[in-house]
Amino acid sequence: MRVIVGADHAGFRLKEKIKEHLKRKGFEVVDEGTDSEKSCDYPDFAVKVAEKVAKSPKSIGIVVCGTGIGTAMAANKVKGIRAALATNEYMARMAREHNNANVLSLGARVSKEKEALEMVDSFLGTDFSLEERHRRRVKKIDAIHGKTLK
């Protein structure tokens, strides 16, 4: 499985740890930056990851910023992306099992490295549930894209 990773300056160090962890486990990792702790804007990197994931539906994205909030918000603007912010292993697992999330968003100032790697492992190790109700709900999420507010 190909994993596309990206982060802003706040998430850079954790993104590097995630990359090492995934490479050790044999995943193909594509790094969309940033490449230092120099201040930058999280939407730029979240969108690069999201666009790559949207174009290659079998891939998974992992984005990291300080809280994980901004990268999730930005990634979710890209059609076909279901980005989930997780702060614990249960959320990361449920994001795949119930929501079929294709991007995991983590907060480097919120989660410790060990917790983050556990979330990464759970996210990548969990499949979307076969239960009809979960599939129906995710279809409804995907159908929202493009609708205008009345």
Using CB under 6 A, list all residues that contact ligand RB5.
Answer: 8, 10, 42, 65-67, 69-70
Q: Do 83 and 105 contact (CB within 8 A), yes or no?
A: yes
- d(Cα 147, Cα 135) in Å, to the nearest integer? 20
Treating both helix axes as pointing N-terminal to C-terminal, what angle do 89-97 and 113-125 enclose, rounded to 10 degrees?
20
40 is catalytic: no
Give whichever of 22 and 85 is closer to ligand RB5, judged by the CB atom. Answer: 85
65 is catalytic: yes
- d(Cα 32, Cα 46) in Å, to the nearest integer? 9
Please identify which of the residues 21, 40, 98, 134 carries the catalytic annotation. Answer: 98
Give whichever of 41 and 131 is closer to ligand RB5, judged by the CB atom. Answer: 41
Please identify which of the residues 9, 21, 40, 65 carries the catalytic annotation. Answer: 65
Give whichever of 33 and 66 is closer to ligand RB5, judged by the CB atom. Answer: 66
User: Taking the complex as a whole, how short is the minimal distance between the CB of residue 93 and ligand RB5, in angstroms?
Assistant: 23
User: Taking the complex as a whole, how short is the minimal distance between the CB of residue 104 and ligand RB5, in angstroms?
Assistant: 15
Give whichever of 40 and 138 is closer to ligand RB5, judged by the CB atom. Answer: 40
User: Taking the complex as a whole, how short is the minimal distance between the CB of residue 90 and ligand RB5, in angstroms?
Assistant: 22
Phi-psi map region of 68: left, alpha, beta (phi>0 left; psi -120 to 50 alpha): left
User: Taking the complex as a whole, how short is the minimal distance between the CB of residue 116 and ligand RB5, in angstroms?
Assistant: 14
3 beta partners: 29, 60
Q: Do 89 and 116 contact (CB within 8 A), yes or no?
A: no
- d(Cα 134, Cα 137) in Å, to the nearest integer? 5
DSSP H or E segment with residue 84: strand 83-85
Residue nearest to ligand RB5 (CB): 70
> Catalytic site residues?
65, 98
